[in-house]
Amino acid sequence: MPTDSIRPHHAAARILSEMCAEFGLNEPEGSDLEAIEVTGVSSDHRSVEAGDVFVAIPGVRTHGAEFLDEVVEAGVVAVLTDPAGAERATHLEVPVIVIDEPRLALGHVAKWVYRTDPEQPRLFGVAGTIGKTSVSYLIADLFGRIGVASGLSTSIARRVDEQRVIATLTTPEADDLHALVARMREVADRVAAIEISGHALSGQRLAGLEFAVVGPFTFSASDDAAADFFALHRLLLDPEVASTAVINIDSQVGRDLVEAARIPVATLSADPESGADWLVQWNSIDGGTEFTVRGHDDRVVASHITKPGRLAALNAAAAIVMIAEGGWATEQIQDALDRTGGFDVPIPGRLERIRATGDGPEVFVDGDERADAIRGSLEALRGEGADAPHLVVHPSDAAAIEEFAQLRDLTAKKPIVITQAPADPVPGLRLETDAAAALQRASRDAGRGGRILFVEPRADALRVIDEGEVVDPTVELVRDALADAGW
């Protein structure tokens, strides 16, 4: 079963004939659909359970219909597929319902089967090119501080009650997402933070869901990506999808989304000249960033976050504003942050701080290997008056090595790039073939009180669940390397 599949434990059955009537589907001949109970929906043959409707969808390389014998043996009670899939299903003993676009129907069928309710839990959808995971974690964390039970779905993990699973997709497929929300309702989660990827929007994964608030649409990418970002993300700004939006207008595409929105919008910015509804002010402090977010209507929240830089302040402010626009009072938010000492949220692989023992160097692990993202992280770590950090990059593509030489101006020494590919010396870089050796070298360079940015794009994929706990090999690698270097 996929590791990110979470289902309700006590799903109430639906009747298959009623499903056909609900969506105007043609009932297959020779089947007594009124006697068939449906308790789940799945589009993945690896995760089917007895009582499911299996939705066989054509994919890039395979068609779900290739697994029909397997899923019927597992106990599915019906198959929903396209004409091509139906041609492979003529021998099945379970009903086969034919529809032209099963992917488009998947989310709506799952909504009906799982009885998805937009008020139980209320959904906070987090979108953008940068900061999505962090804002999602911060929303869930802040609700916890307020005392509101919350669920969480990100590119790193899913969380419902005490259950944790490692994510395989930033946003689950529509059937898994509705099942996840149904489980949240079972455990009485009042709200949930859901990270939304561009692939989720283009792939209909949000079909059938209604969000209380969507945002903050923070955009940090090339101008070439702006048009596609706008075309996809304007789909969230529709009254059938969301009730309210919070939009970061520090980019042109953010300002364009405000103009395109068909729902109420609250704007957010770190630019004092922007005229935004919510303005963020920030400055670096020892151990993180302090910030104030101020609304036009005299609503103010001031606190700090134990992550460095402008983006950290904007992410924290976005979480606060999305919750405030969702109906919670800023006084309640301020009280929760004051009582609990501000934001100190461990977000795996997002400038995740790992401290050496004593006064040894700090290592910050980040999973984004884009040159502009690394530059932003280096600038954040430099802060106001701080020494330049050291940089270690383990790129997923050896062909991109020379790009990292352009970051030399922001680092204390030449960046160290880990690669096992034969390479000629690259001006401005030092090459290592082993991550542990590279980290040890950087830690000796950084010395007492120094800072190291370790960019490891594989960090998310390496995490596993062991006896209910998240095990992170990247963190263990860093700790071992620091220890081996004498820290």
Three-state DSSP state, 153: strand
pLDDT at 1: 42
pLDDT at 420: 82
Whole-prediction pTM value?
0.93
Quote the CA–CA distance of 62 and 65 in Å, as a whole number: 8
Quote the CA–CA distance of 455 and 435 in Å, as a whole number: 11
Bridge partners for 54 per DSSP: 42, 79
pLDDT at 383: 75
481 phi, psi to nearest 5 deg = -65, -40
Tell me how far CA of residue 222 lies from CA of 73, 218, 228, 334, 370, in angstroms: 49, 13, 11, 36, 11
Q: Mean pLDDT by 10-residue block, N- to C-terminus, for the chain (487 residues)?
A: 76 96 92 95 96 94 95 97 96 96 96 96 97 97 97 94 90 96 97 96 94 97 92 97 98 98 98 97 92 94 95 97 98 97 92 87 94 91 83 88 90 92 80 94 93 94 79 93 93
- Show the tokens assigned to 347: 């977000």
Whether 348 contacts 269, CB under 8 Å:
no
- CB proximity list for 107: less than 8 A, separation 6 or greater: 174, 175, 177, 178, 204, 205, 206, 207, 208, 209
Give the position of tokens 């983006």: 311
Quote the CA–CA distance of 247 and 197 in Å, as a whole number: 16
pLDDT at 56: 97
| DSSP of 363-378 | EEEE----HHHHHHHH
Quote the CA–CA distance of 476 and 365 in Å, as a whole number: 12
Whether 260 contacts 249, CB under 8 Å:
no
Q: Which domains does the chain have, with CATH numbers?
A: 14-114 (3.40.1390.10), 122-340 (3.40.1190.10), 352-484 (3.90.190.20)
pLDDT at 463: 86
